[in-house]
Amino acid sequence: MSNDKVHNPIVGVVMGSSSDWEIMKHATIILEKFSIPFKAEVLSAHRMPDDMFDYSHKAYNRGLRAIIAGAGGAAHLPGMIASMTDVPVFGVPIPSKYLNGQDSLLSIVQMPKGIPVATFAIGESGAYNAALHVIAFFSMNNEKIRNELLNFRNEQSEIARNMKVQL
């Protein structure tokens, strides 16, 4: 799974398996909304460790400035990438078959001191919010992105203000 149509990606969106795409696509939807160039691909910590090492070590020099990594079960991908790159990693726990993603969440959030992974909620909301967090991160040095983010947040507020309770 890769979106090679995007040249010069600044965000990597990686997942341990193509089955994780149903969750991780929510990160790409928000990145596309803000016109943030990204590349999405499968990168398994357990089945392709050499590829993961290469990806991690070369991330910054390839132009990546953030990595959104989703993983389920043992969920080693975000933490392993974080241990090998200075590019910020945003972890998304993927719901698992038996423990509904709680195992993934605990695996990602319990990184040792000195190897941070910003960890988000399990599932779609986590993927969506990880991308929004990346956008907020970029908005600190980019006025155009900042204005788009402020507009997005204002739109969210207006949607909430217009909600009515049906009694």
Q: Which residues are annotated as a binding site for substrate?
A: 17, 20, 47
CB neighbourhood size of 62 (10 A): 13
**Are 69 and 92 within 8 A, CB to CB?**
yes
AA letter at 145: I
As annotated, the binding site includes 17, 20, 47
The whole-angstrom separation of Cα 36 and Cα 33 is: 8
**Are 123 and 23 within 8 A, CB to CB?**
yes
Containing 135, the helix (H) or strand (E) segment is helix 124-139
Beta strands in the chain (DSSP E): 11-15, 38-42, 66-72, 89-94, 118-119
